[in-house]
Amino acid sequence: MDSAARTHLGFVATTALLSFSIASLVGAPSLERWAQRKSDGVPRRLASWLVLPAVASSRALGIFALRERAGRHIYAERLPDFHGAPPASSEPEPPAPTPRLADRAAASAPNAAPATLDERRYDRARPLRVWVAGDSMAFNFGLQLDRMARRSGVMRVALDSQPSTGLIDRGDVQWLSRLQSTLEQRRPHVFVLSFGANDADVLRHRGVAYAPGRAEWRDGYRDRTRAIMELIGARRPVYWLGMPIMRSAQYAQKIAVMNAVFVEEAARVPGVRFIDTVPRYSAADGSFAAFLPDANGRLRLVRMEDGIHYTPEGARQLAAHVFETLCARFIVGGRCP
């Protein structure tokens, strides 16, 4: 092979490698979702290992968050829908929940209050429609809850996870208006919401920017939380997932402030129940735990290497709790198949 041919092949190989690298960095969010949707065990671990270099590099360079935001604008993403569900117009509007003292008392409890007979009216013929929405913390959780719902046949789950978003001002996803559209277009029976992972940042309240830790920051965050709770809680039952304990002590302190707001507002808004995840993901001494025992007593990795997000197993444990809570309250007989 002469030098010209070698030069040409080298150019082609370099161009192909560079193109592949750029595509991997830009497509990292899609690659990560592809890996997370693999079956539990070896398939998911292998897929996650394969995409890890691209995902880690994309996050470090800021391309991951930029791609997520650009994708929402470019593709004008529609709201997700329930798998195999009939059109919303074919089913009458569920009645608004009647405010009860029991709702307020149970708002900060991890388990739902006992169901009333009229709430247990969903089954295979009329599946319960559950809308899971929030930031990236909702993603693995929603996938696991969806798998449980599909196996049961009495529940359908729609997942609206928008990474790099939250309740503070970010300009790309306005959750209040998005959830208003969800109520009108998709008409779920129940909402499960998760926010806070991206909210430990500057927040504008009454025209002034405040850093986390300021009383004004808490007031502004409370207003945003209450607006969403009141919007949905007046028409649908809401389960608000608290944020788990974080590995970073500084970050954990900011998360604790958000959780306190969630607890206080859930107690004030009828129809909203807060699920405390801190004890569920803490060690015996209350510290951050990356590994926790499963139902069989085996230690399993429940948090990702960033010390923030749930692993699929960690999300499965929380989803199992929420699934059982929903079954007890809404499914005929109080149990899911």
Is residue 163 located within the same domain as residue 277? yes
Query: pLDDT in tens for each of the 337 residues of the chain?
Result: 677 777 767 777 788 778 878 888 888 877 776 675 555 456 767 877 888 888 788 878 888 777 766 765 554 456 788 866 554 544 555 555 444 433 433 444 444 444 455 799 999 999 999 999 999 999 999 999 999 999 999 999 999 998 889 998 765 678 999 999 999 999 999 999 999 999 998 888 888 888 888 999 999 999 999 999 999 999 999 999 999 999 999 999 999 999 999 999 999 999 999 999 999 999 999 999 999 998 889 999 999 999 999 999 999 999 999 999 999 999 999 999 8
Indicate whether 93 belongs to any domain: no
Same domain, yes or no, for 39 and 160? no
CA 249 – CA 244 distance, rounded (Å): 12
Question: Whole domain around residue 37: which residue ranges?
Answer: 1-77
Q: Label residue 34 exposed, middle or buried (CB < 10 Å: 0-12, 13-18, 19+).
A: middle
Decide if 87 is inside a domain.
no
Residues 64, 69: Cα–Cα separation, whole Å: 9
Asked whether residue 53 is assigned to any structural domain, the reply reads: yes
- 110 & 7 share domain: no
Does one domain contain both 146 and 295?
Answer: yes
In a domain? residue 324: yes
Q: Is 181 found in the same domain as 59? A: no
